[in-house]
Structure 1
Amino acid sequence: MIRRFSLILILLFSAGANSQTLLVLGDSLSAGYQMPIEQAWPSLLGGALEEKGKSVSVINGSISGDTTGNGLARLPALLKQHQPDTVLIELGANDGLRGFPPNVVENNLRAMIDQIKATDSQVILMQIRIPPNYGQRYSNAIAQLYPALSDEKSVPLIPFFLEQVIVKPDWMMNDGLHPKPEAQPWIAGFMAEQLSPLL
């Protein structure tokens, strides 16, 4: 009886020791825009990662409309509350759609990366690309700051999932910017594939 109880404790401890927490800090692309939060890809990500042998508790800290400045302002409280092992930053699209200067976006992202690293958490950055509303030169400037920051700060950079969703009209809402609920399982699988080697 004691031996069996000890074995259960060991198994529970091992499961807890192998489990980790991932905080997704994003905007409407991760917040489940115009859908129940249960359908959004971060809510499905834990199951997709489990299929790849990763035990991860996923916390969705995303808010529709958030800019990098909003994320930077909210980050300290999120880090204190959740104490994540890893933070995925999916921000910058709203900055770009509003024409914010690229150096402001870059500085906000850099400050977030520094804050996360200061807590000994891992940072993962998602590439962001925006439509050429303000011209190709501006769009390129926004896109190029992500690999530059990835190199500067030695943080992994993963691809922008929307690039593979937007080519499928049936998966996109009428605004042409947000994926439908039907796209969320695919996004969760794609993100699990990108994230699992890094977790």
Structure 2
Amino acid sequence: MFRLLSFALLILTVNPAFSSTILVLGDSLSAGYQMPIEKAWPSLLPKVMEEKGKPVSIINGSISGDTTGNGLSRLPQLLKQHQPNVVLIELGANDGLRGFPPNLIQDNLTQLIEMTRASNAIPLLMQIHVLPNYGKRYTKAFSAVYPTTAKQLNVTLIPFFLEDVIVKPEWMMPDGLHPTADAQPWIANFMAEQLINHLQLP
């Protein structure tokens, strides 16, 4: 999940006059890593949501390699520019790969959530898990950051979509970290169901 020096901010709109605007603040898991951006799950999500009768506008503010700290530095401008109704925070995997302290990650996530609420948008937090590179103790502490933060701040915790993808080898890239283009339609449908279940969408 290496950080790219630049990225294309993708805005996908379906029925904008009647839809909610959702900002995806993520890393390579949402940025279309090593694939055309139009194949990434955020690009596919508007069509899936429209088919389910819940049109949305998606702003994909994800950058490969981003940490929670990177997201924290970028979020103010994204909120100001796009004024989303919802912010989906999908960050932390790169923090874990670099062995960042769990308390630092939790502090950054807390600030992201509070900043989102201050802009009158609804925050959603995605659970993230990491490979046990730093041992079971770190892996357990890292994973616990998300439900703890969600409970403390009363934020909806979205399940980690990679848990259902990683069990299918044909859906994973050789690095064992990133889903392939073939997995993106399933992820888009999974995320659509989560959004419909947890948000009061028009």
TM-score between both structures, scaled by the size of structure 1: 0.91
Q: Is it true that 1:69 corresponds to 2:69 in the alignment?
A: yes
Aligned in 2, Cα 1:99/1:16: closer, same or farther, shift over 3 Å? closer
Which residue number corresponds to residue 129 of structure 2? 129
Supply the distance in 2 between the matched residues of 1:134 and 1:60 (Cα, whole angstroms): 30
Which residue number corresponds to residue 104 of structure 1? 104
Using the TM superposition, give the Cα deviation of residue 125 of structure 1 relative to its aligned residue in structure 2, in angstroms: 0.3
The CA deviation string for residues 29-74 of structure 1, in whole angstroms up to 9 with x for no partner, is 0000000000000000111111221110011000000000000000
Aligned in 2, Cα 1:164/1:80: closer, same or farther, shift over 3 Å? same
Supply the distance in 2 between the matched residues of 1:151 and 1:48 (Cα, whole angstroms): 29
The AA in structure 2 aligned to 1:120 is N
Larger Rg: 1
Supply the distance in 1 between the matched residues of 2:197 and 2:73 (Cα, whole angstroms): 29
Which residue number corresponds to residue 151 of structure 1? 151
The AA in structure 1 aligned to 2:198 is L
Which residue number corresponds to residue 36 of structure 1? 36
Supply the distance in 2 between the matched residues of 1:20 and 1:194 (Cα, whole angstroms): 15
Using the TM superposition, give the Cα deviation of residue 139 of structure 1 relative to its aligned residue in structure 2, in angstroms: 0.6
Figure out how many residues of one structure are paired with residues of the other and give that number.
185
Supply the distance in 1 between the matched residues of 2:16 and 2:95 (Cα, whole angstroms): 38
Which residue number corresponds to residue 85 of structure 1? 85
Which residue number corresponds to residue 55 of structure 1? 55
* Higher normalized helix content (fraction of residues): 1
Supply the distance in 1 between the matched residues of 2:69 and 2:89 (Cα, whole angstroms): 12
Using the TM superposition, give the Cα deviation of residue 95 of structure 1 relative to its aligned residue in structure 2, in angstroms: 0.2
Using the TM superposition, give the Cα deviation of residue 195 of structure 1 relative to its aligned residue in structure 2, in angstroms: 1.0
The CA deviation string for residues 78-135 of structure 1, in whole angstroms up to 9 with x for no partner, is 0001100000000000000100000110000000000000011000000000010000
Which residue number corresponds to residue 5 of structure 2? none
Identity %: 67
Supply the distance in 2 between the matched residues of 1:110 and 1:182 (Cα, whole angstroms): 33
Which residue number corresponds to residue 45 of structure 1? 45
The AA in structure 1 aligned to 2:140 is N
Where 1:34 maps in the other structure, the secondary structure is: coil
Which runs of 5 or more structure 1 residues have no equivalent in the other structure?
Answer: 1-14
Dislocated runs of 4+, deviation >6 Å: none
Where 2:183 maps in the other structure, the secondary structure is: helix
Using the TM superposition, give the Cα deviation of residue 196 of structure 1 relative to its aligned residue in structure 2, in angstroms: 1.2
Which residue number corresponds to residue 12 of structure 1? none
Report matched runs for 1:8-27 at 5 Å. Answer: 18-27=18-27
